Amino acid sequence: MEYEIRGTVMQSVEVTLNQGESVYTEAGGMSWMTANIEMTTDMRGGLMGALKRAVAGESLFVTHYGCNSGTGFVTFTTETPGKIIPIELAEGQSMVCQRDSFMVAEEGVDIEIHMHKRLGAALFGGEGLVLQRITGPGTAFFELSGEIVEYKLEAGQQLKIDPGHIAMMDPTVDFDVSMVRGITNIFLGGEGLFLATVTGPGRIWLQSMPLSNLALRLIPYLPKSRD
C-alpha cells in the first residue's frame, strides 16, 4: 500500500492498492476510486465489535475497499477543515485519540474504546468519557481539526492545555484535568473553568481549532427561527 496526502485546508488522502490489498473505513467515508476497487460492507468484529465502534464515535458498519486486479486507488477526504495525520503502528502499538478522528486504515488495525482513568478527566476533558484507541499492526490515518502541532514529551515533562485542543497522544502520556485557580482567572480569564495537564513520556498532537470552538463561533451567523 502507498498513499499521498493532498491539499492544505481541506485535505484528501489517495491510497494506492495492489491486487489483494485492502483498507477499511466507517460507512460513507469514501470520496472517489478507480473502477477496479471493490467495496464490501460488514460488521467488522461482529456485533460486539460494531457496538464498541459505535460507542467510540464510529459507525456500526465498516466498508472495505480491495483491489481486485492490477493497481488502483481510493480517495478519502476530510469532513471539516484540518489535517490528515498518518501513523504507522507496529504489532500491539496503540494511539489514543478523540472520538470520530479515525479515518481509514489497513486491515490489521483495530478500533477500540479507551476510557479515561480519572473521573475529572472523563467529565471535564473536552471529549467526554470515551475516546478511541487505535491498535496496529498497520498504517492508520487520523482526521484532526485545524492546524496540528506535535510535541514529544520527556518523562515527567508537563504541558497545561485547554482540553479541547488535545487531539491524539501515545497511551504512555498521562492525562488529568483540574479547575483553573484564582477567582479572577475563572471569571475574567476567558479560558474556561478547567485545564488539562498532560505528563510524558510520549507524543501528543494538539489541534488549533477544536470543532466545539468552531461551532460556538458559527452560532451568531446561523439563521434564527421566526415564530
Please tell me the total count of domains within the chain.
1
Asked if residue 99 is part of any domain, the answer here is: yes
Whole-angstrom distance, CA of residue 124 vs CA of residue 140: 28
Task: Spell out the per-residue pLDDT of the chain, length 227, in tens.
Answer: 999 999 998 999 999 999 999 999 986 679 999 999 999 988 766 556 555 655 555 566 889 999 999 999 999 999 889 999 999 999 999 999 988 889 999 999 998 887 665 544 444 444 445 688 999 999 999 999 999 999 999 999 999 988 889 999 999 999 887 765 544 444 444 454 678 899 999 999 999 988 777 777 777 878 876 65
CB atoms within 10 A of CB 211: 17
Asked if residue 227 is part of any domain, the answer here is: no
Asked if residue 131 is part of any domain, the answer here is: yes
Residue identified by cell 489541534 is 207
Q: In CATH, what number is assigned to the domain containing residue 200?
A: 3.60.160.10
Asked if residue 224 is part of any domain, the answer here is: no
**Cα–Cα distances in Å, from 140 out to 24, 122, 137, 143, 148?**
10, 25, 9, 10, 17
Distant-in-sequence, close-in-space partners of 73: CB < 8 Å, separation ≥ 6: 14, 15, 16, 17, 33, 34, 37
What is the domain extent for residue 179?
A: 2-215
Asked if residue 221 is part of any domain, the answer here is: no
Grid cell, residue 150, equals 506535535
Write phi, then psi, for 103 (nearest 5 degrees).
-115, -60
Asked if residue 117 is part of any domain, the answer here is: yes
Asked if residue 223 is part of any domain, the answer here is: no
Asked if residue 226 is part of any domain, the answer here is: no
